[in-house]
Amino acid sequence: MLFPAPVLRYYAAHEGKALVKLVGTEFEKREAGIVFPEGSPLRRQINSALVAIREDGTYERIYDKWFGSE
């Protein structure tokens, strides 16, 4: 059985820490998205916030906390 990489990364970084190790590459990497109704004013705000946390390193710190470093 195959599981999505984020689920496996979370398990390996928390409950499975020191018990399991991810090896190899992902079979099929997929990106996630956020959907808004057409014309939503939130779209621009969310996009700006996502760019900001990528640029200042916050995204990487959050990712590493919950999914471990790659």
Within a domain: residue 57? yes
> Which pLDDT score is estimated for 30?
80
Within a domain: residue 44? yes
Number of domains in the chain: 1
Confirm if 53 and 59 have CB atoms less than 8 A apart: yes
Structural domain boundaries enclosing 54: 5-23+33-67
Confirm if 10 and 67 have CB atoms less than 8 A apart: yes
Q: How does pLDDT run across 23-49, given as a tens digit for each residue?
A: 888 888 888 889 999 999 999 999 999
pTM value?
Answer: 0.68
> Which pLDDT score is estimated for 1?
64
What mean pLDDT do residues 2-26 have?
A: 89
Within a domain: residue 28? no
What's phi and psi for 4, nearest 5 deg? -60, 140
> Which pLDDT score is estimated for 31?
81
Indicate whether 70 pLDDT > 70. no
